[in-house]
Amino acid sequence: MASGRRNRARRGGHAPVIVELGAFALVLAFVLAVLQTGMSVAGRIRRSPVLAGAADGAAIAGAVAVAVAFAALIAAFVASDFSVANVAANSHTDKPMLYKVAAAWGSHESSLLLWCLVLTGFGALLARARNLPFGLKTCAVAVQGLLGVMFLAFALFTSNPFARLDPAPVQGASLNPLLQDPALAFHPPLLYCGYVGFSVCFSLAVAALIEGRANSSFWPAWGRWVRPWALASWAFLTVGITLGSFWAYYELGWGGWWFWDPVENASFLPWLAGTALLHSAVVTERRGTLASWTTFLALLAFSFSMLGAFLVRSGVLTSVHAFAVDPERGLMLLAILGVSSGAAFALFAWRAPQLKGGGMFAPVSREGALVLNNVFLTASCATVLLGTLYPLILEAANGAAISVGPPYFALTFVPLMAAALLILPAGPMLAWKRGDFKGVGQRLTLAAGLAILIALMGWMAFEPKKALSAAGIGLGAWLILGTLAEVAERLRLFRAPLAESLRRARSLPLGAWGTTLAHAGLGVFVLGAVVETGYRIEVARALAPGQTLEAGKWAVRLDSVRVVEGPNYLAEQGRLTVTLRDGGAPRPVTAERRFFPAGGQTTTEVGLDFRGLDDVYVVLGERGRTDAGAPGWNVRVWWNPWARLIFLGPMIMALGGLVSLLDRRLRLGVGKREPAA
């Protein structure tokens, strides 16, 4: 087997054609993006459907070319072709196949190619959309092409993933073992679909600023066109961030799932802006109002995606001084961000005042609630931005080094969000234009009463007693119950015969079910986040085999530790048994410390015992001495109550996005607006 692996490596080194083909396809994609931009601009000016059609063709061909390039890169990784610098730096013949493939998006160069693939892929979908008016679509395809030109040029000229090494090394340096994990193998593609999906919203917003007219039927239609793209990107981003968080939870071995790390914040910013966009686009679609605000958010969401790419890739985040490590790439990305966002927001400042108009609404109305949602989401988004960038700004301004960490966000972001969540259940119950506050209050009384009761029960049930955590439990319950109350109201559940309710359930549009799922999922997440953060228990001690550690109601016994051999690592594997302290329910769990010789790195493999909604989270540390002085291992154990909900909630939210996307009123290419609903 070992010799087989080696042969394959050698064969790969002698099959350079595929790599050359990839490099060629990348150049071709760049040329096609230039053509796409030029032809759609010319097509728009001359009002020529032929030119515009050719631009669409170039967009589709460009996506195919990038796909070919990406496939060639994956082939190079699969074949372990170490004559490609990128493969040599990030792969190794001993690595399992999944991670050879996943390494194709593990480095700066190749993940940038993935970015370009998603960008041109969404661009091709946009080019195929049939229901957009000529001017708007041509402009949007031109903008999307321009983004493609910039990012493909960036890839080609500063970060070519196909750059060669001569002589080729015999063995690669392997992928960072922390990244060799299933959750992280799928995390970047999903995350990028979210980040870069917002580029279509960006292009449509720029196109609308150029083509849009005030006080026309244009804006409701535009809101309708932009919503599916925003929804799809948002759902992808939700799953991507959740997978990343789950990876951090069980791969880093720190017991936490969100650290307010600048890199995490960089992915959270487009999510918050995208969430605001989703809600404001609904108002624009239904009422033709908030048009300029929705456009602004569409520009903002993708700008935050690009800002995130800049922050993460330039090295500016870990330390201001790290910027000098790769100034060329950092400055290029900053230039792309500055040019595209700068131009777009300048256009916005010029055109938005001319686009005023749309329907009026009373403060207490669906529109009013959605505006309030946007106020809070924008403020919390600005808070995250401020907290992420402030240390950089301060250090640049007067050299003072500060840290902005979890306590800051707990004092600023969390109250803002809590306020937003408090009013959330009322939103979907309010009528458009002019709502009835009293009626909504009456319909939510039961949910509110139950939520308060649950908060009290939470206060009694969990030790130590924490008023804020109990209030958080109430808030989570309020979200779920309030959302369910809204559905029950619509279905006339328990008030009409069951058959009648079922009939109503069938006729309820998928979009409404999607909203319900997303809001209830948020409630599920809040419950998990609050209980895990408020009541987790952590203990650490050095244990000799046979000794036991107690964490809350759980007892964890270290049974044995042995050395095991993985495909590309060696590990100390601890076998432990988790039991309830007052007896019963023993369950084995294994935790490892893995050593990867290829990179000389050590990682921890957390042992997770799933107990209902709770996790018993076990980390095997270094060798140490027990209290009695005997040799043993440092074992850390967390009891993370309700941790399951933290990852389940966002998945329900993303499912809600998917369900909404299936609503035929939202589907792309589905012709006309249905008669007034």
Partner 1 sequence: MKRTLLIAAASFGLIAAEPLSAPDRPLPDAAQEARAQALFDDIRCVVCQHEAIADSPATIASDLRGLVRDEIRAGLSDAEIKAGLVRRYGDFVLFTPPMRAGTWLLWFGPLAILLAVGGGLLAMTLRRRVETVALSAEEEARLADILAAQEVRRDPDAKPSDD
Residues in 20-79 at the binding interface with partner 1, rule: CB under 8 A: none
**How far apart (Å, rounded) are the C-alpha atoms in residues 70 and 189?**
12
Q: What is the 3-state secondary structure (H, E, C) of 398-450?
A: HCCCCCCCHHHHHHHHHHHHHHHHHHHHHHHHCCCCCCCHHHHHHHHHHHHHH
Among 673, 672, 670, smallest CA distance to 661 is for 670
Cβ closer to partner 1: 340 or 469? 469
341 binds partner 1 (CB under 8 A): no
Report, in Å, the least distance between residue 366 CB and partner 1.
9
Report, in Å, the least distance between residue 459 CB and partner 1.
19
639 binds partner 1 (CB under 8 A): no
Report, in Å, the least distance between residue 504 CB and partner 1.
6
- What residues numbered 211-230 form the site for partner 1, per CB under 8 A? none
- What residues numbered 365-394 form the site for partner 1, per CB under 8 A? 371, 375-376, 378-380, 382-383, 386-387, 390, 394
Report, in Å, the least distance between residue 141 CB and partner 1.
30
**How far apart (Å, rounded) are the C-alpha atoms in residues 247 and 64?**
31
Span interacting with partner 1, options 1-9, 150-158, 233-241, 300-308, rule CB under 8 A:
1-9
Bond before 497 cis per omega within 30 degrees: no
Span interacting with partner 1, options 122-130, 173-181, 337-345, 506-514, rule CB under 8 A:
506-514
Report, in Å, the least distance between residue 132 CB and partner 1.
23
- What residues numbered 455-494 form the site for partner 1, per CB under 8 A? 489-490, 492
- What residues numbered 391-410 form the site for partner 1, per CB under 8 A? 394, 397-398, 400-408
Length of the chain: 677
Span interacting with partner 1, options 59-67, 125-133, 253-261, 331-339, rule CB under 8 A:
253-261
- What residues numbered 535-594 form the site for partner 1, per CB under 8 A? 538, 540-542, 563, 565, 570, 572, 593
Q: Give the H/E segment covering residue 563.
A: strand 554-565
- What residues numbered 644-673 form the site for partner 1, per CB under 8 A? none
- What residues numbered 155-184 form the site for partner 1, per CB under 8 A? none
444-453 contacts at long range (C-beta below 8 A, 24 or more positions apart) = 444/482, 444/485, 446/481, 446/485, 447/478, 447/481, 447/482, 447/484, 447/485, 448/478, 448/482, 450/477, 450/481, 451/475, 451/477, 451/478, 451/481, 451/482
CA distances from 270 to 123, 177, 288, 418, 543 (A): 19, 28, 24, 20, 45
- What residues numbered 598-617 form the site for partner 1, per CB under 8 A? 600, 602
Cβ closer to partner 1: 207 or 282? 282
Question: Residues 415-454: x/- map of binding to partner 1 (CB under 8 A)?
Answer: -x-----------xx-xxxx-x------------------
Among left, alpha and beta (phi > 0; psi -120 to 50; other), residue 500 is alpha
Span interacting with partner 1, options 39-47, 160-168, 177-185, 259-267, rule CB under 8 A:
259-267
Report, in Å, the least distance between residue 634 CB and partner 1.
5
For residue 483, the 8-state DSSP code is H
The distance of Cα 640 from the centroid of its chain, to the nearest Å, equals: 23
Of 48, 216, 577, 634, which one interacts with partner 1 (CB under 8 A)?
A: 634
**How far apart (Å, rounded) are the C-alpha atoms in residues 445 and 439?**
10
Cβ closer to partner 1: 237 or 381? 381
Cβ closer to partner 1: 363 or 588? 363
> In the structure encoding, which two tokens stand for residue 542, read together?
């050095």
Report, in Å, the least distance between residue 585 CB and partner 1.
27
Among left, alpha and beta (phi > 0; psi -120 to 50; other), residue 584 is left
- Could you tell me how many residues of this chain bind partner 1 (CB under 8 A)? 78
- What residues numbered 85-114 form the site for partner 1, per CB under 8 A? 94
251 binds partner 1 (CB under 8 A): no
Of 53, 57, 135, 256, which one interacts with partner 1 (CB under 8 A)?
A: 256
> In the structure encoding, which two tokens stand for residue 333, read together?
């990305």
CA distances from 630 to 5, 188, 294, 549, 627 (A): 43, 44, 65, 16, 7
CA distances from 62 to 19, 37, 65, 161 (A): 18, 12, 5, 17
Report, in Å, the least distance between residue 398 CB and partner 1.
7
Q: Give the H/E segment covering residue 645.
A: helix 643-662
